[in-house]
Amino acid sequence: MNPHYTDTTLIQLLKSNLETEENKALQYIYHKYYQSIETWLIKKGLPPRIEVKDLFQAGLIDLFYIIKKDNFTLSNETQIKTLLFSICRNRWRNEWRSQNNRIKHEQQILIENSEEMPLEMEWINEEKSNLVAHLIAKTGSYCQRVILNFYYRKMKHEEIAEEMSFKSAQQSRNALSGCKKKLRQTILATPNWKELLL
C-alpha cells in the first residue's frame, strides 16, 4: 500500500537534508501530480521539441530548491500541488516566449539576408524578401531552422546534425531536401505566390 503524506510531512522530508528522505518525497510528488499537470500541458499545447516529462521534472527540481530555502513556509492558501502547478505553468509560458522570440529573430535574419540566397534557390525572386521569409515561415519551425542553418548560417550538414540532434549528416541532407520540397509545395498551393517561381 502506497503511503499518504501531508504537505507538512513532504516539506519536512525535503528539508531533512537526507537523500533517502528527499527522494521519497520527490517520488511521491511526482507520482501524485504528474498526470494532472501532464493533462493540462497537453491540452494547452507544448512548444516544439519540449517534452512534458522534461518540463515537469524541471518544475519539480525548482519546487525542491524553493522548499529547501530557510525562509520557505507554506501558507494556508497554498498547497504543494498549486505551487508545483504554478512553477510548471511559468516554465511552459517561458518556453513558448523563448520559442516565439527565436522564430521572430530567425525570420528577421531571413528578411535581412534574403538577397544573399544562393543560385540553387534563384527561382525565388530576391526583390521579394519579405514574401520569401513569410513562405519559409509557413513551412513550420522545423523546416525554417533547417533552411536557415544551411543557406544563411552556411552550416555544414555535420554541424546541422549536431545542432538539431540528428543522428547523422545524411539525416540533415534528407531534412533539407524534404523542406525544400515542402517550400515549393507551399508556394504552388498559393496562387498569389506562383509568380515567385518564374
List pLDDT tens digits, range 55-79. Answer: 899 999 999 998 988 778 777 556 8
**DSSP secondary structure string, 62-99?**
HHHHHHHSTT----TT--HHHHHHHHHHHHHHHHHHHH
Is 183 within the bounds of a domain? yes
Is 90 within the bounds of a domain? yes
The domain containing residue 61 runs over which residues? 7-99
Is 108 within the bounds of a domain? no
Is 107 within the bounds of a domain? no
**Structure pTM?**
0.49
Do 89 and 119 reside in the same domain of the chain? no
Do 49 and 118 reside in the same domain of the chain? no
| Among 43, 37, 32, CA closest to 59 | 37
Q: Are 121 and 179 in contact (CB under 8 A)?
A: no
What is the count of structural domains for the chain?
Answer: 2
Of 58, 75, 99, the residue that ends a domain is 99
Do 68 and 147 reside in the same domain of the chain? no
Of 72, 99, 126, the residue that ends a domain is 99
- Calculate the average pLDDT of the chain: 77
Q: Are 89 and 63 in contact (CB under 8 A)?
A: no
| Among 106, 91, 88, 86, CA closest to 153 | 106
The residue written with cell numbers 547523422 in the block is 168
Is 163 within the bounds of a domain? yes
Is 120 within the bounds of a domain? yes
Element (H, E) at 121: none
Do 85 and 29 reside in the same domain of the chain? yes
- State what percent of residues in the chain have pLDDT above 70: 74
Do 152 and 79 reside in the same domain of the chain? no
SS3 content of the chain, % helix, strand, coil (to 5): 75, 0, 25
* 113 vs 161, more confident: 161
Is 150 within the bounds of a domain? yes
Mean pLDDT of 167-187: 86
Do 139 and 85 reside in the same domain of the chain? no
Of 48, 76, 99, the residue that ends a domain is 99
What angle (nearest 5°) sits at the alpha carbon of residue 190, between those of residues 186 and 196? 80
C-alpha 160: how far from chain center: 17
Is 65 within the bounds of a domain? yes
Confidence band of 182 (pLDDT split at 50, 70, 90): confident
Q: What is the pLDDT of residue 74?
A: 74
